[in-house]
């Protein structure tokens, strides 16, 4: 979680998931609601809004975790594409950071740009 800069935002009780581009530049911040009423109202995952600033980005223009796994993907010439960020975190926990070839498209579709 430290490597991925996962955090917690108490005012809205959300897990914070920052997204970075392939060059490790911050591009957006998604939140995962924990309280069922919020999940029912907004869905589990939403772009974070802090101090009236929304940290959204086009999900189809980025792959989560590519900034961390790009060198391993180049070496092995394979990538594992998951739907969500949590799967990338679990993959690197199971197989180690040195073996991480995981990315997430953050949805049910992979865009042509992501491919």
Assigned domain for 91 exists: no
- The segments of the chain whose pLDDT lies below 70 read none
Assigned domain for 86 exists: no
- Tell me the average pLDDT of the chain: 96
The β-bridge partners of 28 are: 19
Condensed to tens digits (0 to 9), the pLDDT of residues 53-63 reads: 999 999 999 99
At residue 103's C-alpha, the angle toward residues 74 and 72, to 5°, is: 25
What range does the domain containing 54 cover? 7-58
Alpha-carbon distances, residue 106 vs 10, 68, 100, 112 (angstroms): 23, 16, 17, 14
Assigned domain for 110 exists: no
Q: What is the pLDDT of residue 1?
A: 85
Assigned domain for 23 exists: yes
Domain count for the chain, please give it: 1
Helices (H), 9-80: 36-42, 66-76
Assigned domain for 73 exists: no
Assigned domain for 18 exists: yes
């Amino acid at each position: 979680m430290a490597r991925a800069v996962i955090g917690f935002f108490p005012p809205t009780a959300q897990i914070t998931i920052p997204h970075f581009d392939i060059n490790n530049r911050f591009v957006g911040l998604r939140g995962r609601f924990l309280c069922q009423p919020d999940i029912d109202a907004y869905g589990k995952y939403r772009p974070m809004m802090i101090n009236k600033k929304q940290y959204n980005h086009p999900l189809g223009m980025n792959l989560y975790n590519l900034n961390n796994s790009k060198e391993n993907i180049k070496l092995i010439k394979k990538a594992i594409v998951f739907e969500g960020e949590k799967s990338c975190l679990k993959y690197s926990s199971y197989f180690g950071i040195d073996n991480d070839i995981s990315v997430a498209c953050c949805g049910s579709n992979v865009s042509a740009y992501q491919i």
